[in-house]
Amino acid sequence: MIFFILYIFLSLCFFIKEKLSQINKIKTTTNILNVNLISVGNTGILNFCHYKRSNLMENFDYIIIGAGSAGCVLANRLSENPNNKILLIEAGGKDSYPWIHIPVGYYKTMHNPKTDWCYKTEPDKTMENRSIPYPRGKTLGGSSSINGLLYIRGQEQDYDIWRQLGNKGWSWNDVLPYFLKAENQERGPSEFHGIGGPLSVSDQRIKLSILDAFMNAAEEIGIPKVNDFNRGNNHGCGYFQVTEKNGLRCSAAVGYLNPIKNRKNLEIKTRCHVEKINFENKKAVSVSCWKDGQSFTIKANKEIILSAGSIGSPQILQTSGIGEAKKLNNLEIDIVKNSIGVGKNLQDHLMFRPVYKVKNIQTLNKKINSLIGKLMIGMEYVFFRSGPMTMGASQLCGFAKSDSSRETPNLQFHVQPISTDKLGGSNLHNFAAFTPTVANIRPTSKGEVNITSKDSRINPKIKMNYLSSDEDRRVAAAGLKLIRKIVLESNEFKKYEPEEFRPGISIQNDEELVRAASNYAQTIFHPVGTCKMGNDESSVVSDELKVHGVKNLRVIDASVMPNITSGNTNAPTIMIAEKGADMILNN
């Protein structure tokens, strides 16, 4: 661990020394004072800001609650018009923790109370009564500052289904322009990719034989090799692209917020915890907050935008009096709008983590467990900005069907050249092994988020019900057996003598396999849907993202997804915020 910290320190020193001439002192503005900016390369990624705030502007046009993936997008786009006065509120702190900006730093930021809210799910009887850690970002950039950096948009069909549910303007053809608008694609522009946007998307800077072997083996059983999962049809196997630039993380804070922090019409408040939204005649008029032990209220002239994520947004709606009336009455909360869908419809991707031992081929376990290996990894990053320190949470991706009756893929692989007993907080195994995870990306099981107190500083209950449907249990078993087929039955892997270390090849019965694999299953950190968009009685917002039954309040984040997208959810969340900002500006 000492050596691991040492080479991170050397990395930072190298970049800072290399670019020392670029250190600037930005003059005092009305809302950001005494800012010291360290710009690394041309990315502006290491942006260590120490700002003393002036008093809040007397009033604001728009108040954005949550400076996560969506909130940073909204702050950027809405403040482009100098006539709009914007307040961005973040309950977490600044993104100055160095591990945020090193791609592999998610091992240090997840489960760390400095940068993670460290939620835990309620015991889940569908998963052997397990309660699992549930990371959510607690810093500028939100979960985009601590996530696995994997850039996946989902399938064309995902968005066409949203449209078929009655949500105008949310089909694939409608949303694709917003993906392009957000993107700065390393490979250049095309029909499906954009350049010049705030969010940098890059190829991974690591390739390993074990990953190529899995790709070859998948091809043997009919899963083709692909090099782009973001054109609407993601069937195939290939390397992930990641939200990085020059080997450093490009979070929403880095891409959208850092370049515009000195706008005079933008105020940013960190470590400011929202108590509730206040209403007059069902019109959202102000936000009550806590900061530095004091409570205060801020008024909004035009709109309040809730972008606190799929856990935080329903929590704040409920503490503000919007939710299921019976539950809120039990907590002595005044009812503003009886909205039975708030907190319901919670969807996520559950990741099963089988482990396979191999011979005659390298994984990263032994290298990372070796002091010399750690130093080599550190030096590669210092001098080339490549190698394991640039890794996303997974390196190789695959999309496949659990059975031939499916029209589109319903399984996703995240293949990692390492193995461990526990994701986060556990050492790697001392033998050569890799982890080809598999997840059902079209789950039918749904959970919910409910407050237990009118005090929003008390964590809500997160009940997942991950494997509550028979369908999801069947798909889980099929996914695990498909992985077995790729690794244990392919010609490609025979020379590596694979052995199923976990859950164990002796387990053949589907239900027994799911139960055994559940002991090591984890979230992929994709909660969505708790303020779903639609027109039925369980919908919380309209297709313009306006909260039903009240005025001047929108929810713009992953919680509005009516159905979870088929893949990683950060890129879709940023798209939602881009489209939401356009709706507000064109209102």
The reported pLDDT for the residue numbered 19 is 37
- Other CB atoms within 10 Å distance of the CB of residue 442: 23
In three-state secondary structure terms, 565 is coil
The neighbouring-strand residues paired with 400 are 411
Kindly list the domain boundaries of the chain, sorted by start residue. Answer: 205-239+350-440+467-520
- Other CB atoms within 10 Å distance of the CB of residue 29: 15
Helix axes 570-585, 69-78, angle to 10 degrees: 30
Cis bond leading into 503, ω under 30°?
A: yes
8 Å CB contact between 203 and 239: yes
Pairing between strand 322-323 and 337-338?
Answer: parallel
The reported pLDDT for the residue numbered 426 is 75
- Tens of pLDDT, residue by residue, the chain (587 residues): 444 444 444 444 444 433 333 333 333 333 322 222 222 233 333 333 333 333 455 689 999 999 999 999 999 999 999 999 999 999 999 999 999 999 999 999 999 999 999 999 999 999 999 999 999 999 999 999 999 999 999 999 999 999 999 999 999 999 999 999 999 999 999 999 999 999 999 999 999 999 999 999 999 999 999 999 999 999 999 999 999 999 999 999 999 999 999 999 999 999 999 999 999 999 999 999 999 989 999 999 999 999 999 999 999 999 999 999 999 999 999 999 999 999 999 999 999 999 999 999 999 999 999 999 999 999 999 999 999 999 999 999 999 999 999 999 999 999 999 999 887 667 899 999 999 999 999 999 999 999 999 999 999 999 999 999 999 999 999 999 999 999 999 999 999 999 999 999 999 999 999 999 999 999 999 999 999 999 999 999 999 999 999 999 999 999 999 999 999 999 999 999 999 999 999 98
Q: Sort 452 into a burial class: Cβ within 10 Å, 0-12 / 13-18 / 19+.
A: exposed
8 Å CB contact between 410 and 441: yes
3-state secondary structure 453-521: CCCCCCCCEEECCCCCCHHHHHHHHHHHHHHHHHHHCCHHHHCCCCEEEECCCCCCCHHHHHHHHHCCC
Out of 193, 414, 429, 526, which one is annotated catalytic? Answer: 526
DSSP state of 193: B
**Which of 19, 26, 89, 30 shows the shortest CA–CA distance to 257?**
89
526 is catalytic: yes
The reported pLDDT for the residue numbered 58 is 66
In three-state secondary structure terms, 547 is strand
8 Å CB contact between 125 and 146: no
Is CATH 3.30.410.40 the classification given to domain 205-239+350-440+467-520?
yes
Distance separating alpha carbons of residues 69 and 547, to the nearest angstrom: 20
The reported pLDDT for the residue numbered 523 is 94
**Half-sphere exposure of residue 262, counting CA atoms within 13 Å on the CB side?**
14
